[in-house]
Amino acid sequence: MAEQPSRPDPGLYGPGTVTWQLHADPAMWIAGVRALWLQALHPRTLRGVMANSDFRQDAWGRLIRTARYVAATTYADTPTAERAAARVRGIHRRLGATDPATGERYGVDEPGLLLWVHCAEVSSYLHTLRRSGFPLDDTAADRYVAEQRTGARLVGLDPAQVPATVGELDSYFRSVKDELAVGADARVVDDFLRRPPVPLALLPARALLWRRVSGLAYGSLPPWAHRLYGREAPPPAVVTRRLRSTARLLRAVPGELRWQMPPKYIHSAVTRLGPQARPSRRIPT
């Protein structure tokens, strides 16, 4: 009897997940910037970042590396995704920081710190995409949060200790509010995200494009985050309207063109699995 050909490896998520559809949306770039603003509110986590990199010099690289990591773990085949995660865990194991108040030395891979980064990212991705008009009902939103426990495992967390629903995610943020603050490190992040240094020739682009992206990212933060930063945001209805209009423009660029941009994980996934694997705004049931 002839041996049956093996099925292509869908990776860690696959086309039947909410994650597969959501992470291909171009509004994820706005969500990623929002996540940076949110993550900067946890002083212990941010100290780990600042102690191991020059944020002003490396902020663009950090954002791009995060985007590539999310793309790899979402769309690459399983071995590639697992290797990408192993590299990140290996880097985290070697890095540490010192609490300036107590002198305590700690690792950046403390579960509590990893959990904050995870929840800030998942919350930002979900909130931004839903608010920008991506069609996710409450059931699909809960599915997404549950699916992201796979991402939590990849960075070294116990998935059983990670929020599995939107309600649990909201409860987590309520539980950590007393740990959040805006200190000198957070001001560095805030200043960079508002006015990143660029060559003189790119100043018009920063004024035209980045100001809108960063303004939407900051404006979509929860009100308690605005209070911590001490800077108001436009009314929520205005932020939502601007976010939806910007997302419509981004989504007008065909996916086939966007997915050709390096590192082409989505393009490779569709090639590997077939045209039925194309991400879309239709959530599989």
Q: Which residues pair with 19 in a beta bridge?
A: none
Q: What average pLDDT score do residues 61-78 get?
A: 91
Q: Tell me if 8 is assigned to some domain.
A: no
Percentage of the chain beyond pLDDT 70 is 94
Of 60-64, 136-140, 147-151, where does mean pLDDT reach its minimum?
60-64
Distance between CA atoms of 34 and 220, rounded to whole angstroms?
7
Using pLDDT thresholds of 50, 70 and 90, give the confidence band for residue 54: confident
pLDDT tens column, 172-231? 999 999 999 999 999 999 998 998 776 777 667 766 788 899 999 999 999 999 999 999
DSSP 209-268: IIHHHHHHHHHTS-HHHHHHHT-----HHHHHHHHHHHHHHHHTS-HHHHTTSTT-HHHH
Q: Tell me if 7 is assigned to some domain.
A: no
Q: Which among 32, 45, 19 is positioned nearest to 220, based on CA atoms? A: 32
Distance between CA atoms of 80 and 44, rounded to whole angstroms?
31
> Given a cut of 80, is residue 79 above it in pLDDT?
yes
How much is the mean pLDDT over the chain?
92
Q: Which two tokens stand for residue 217?
A: 């990212």
Q: What is the pLDDT of residue 180?
A: 98
What's the structural domain count of the chain? 1
Q: Tell me if 166 is assigned to some domain.
A: yes
95 vs 12, 64, 100, 208, 223, CA distance in Å? 27, 20, 16, 37, 33
Q: What is the pLDDT of residue 183?
A: 94
Q: Tell me if 201 is assigned to some domain.
A: yes
Q: What average pLDDT score do residues 98-124 get?
A: 95
Give the pTM.
0.93
Please enumerate in sequence order all residues whose Cβ is within 8 A of that of 191, keeping only pairs 6 or more positions apart, or say none: none
CB atoms within 10 A of CB 178: 7
| Strand (E) or helix (H) holding 106 | strand 105-107
More confident residue, 244 or 197: 244
Q: Tell me if 37 is assigned to some domain.
A: yes
Q: What is the pLDDT of residue 1?
A: 44
Looking at residue 107, what DSSP letter applies? E
Q: What is the pLDDT of residue 200?
A: 72
Percentage of the chain beyond pLDDT 90 is 80
Q: Which two tokens stand for residue 248?
A: 């419509």
Of 34-43, 147-156, 170-179, 187-196, where does mean pLDDT reach its minimum?
187-196
Q: Tell me if 11 is assigned to some domain.
A: no
Q: Tell me if 9 is assigned to some domain.
A: no
pLDDT tens column, 1-12? 444 457 899 999
Q: Tell me if 145 is assigned to some domain.
A: yes
- Domain span holding position 133: 18-277
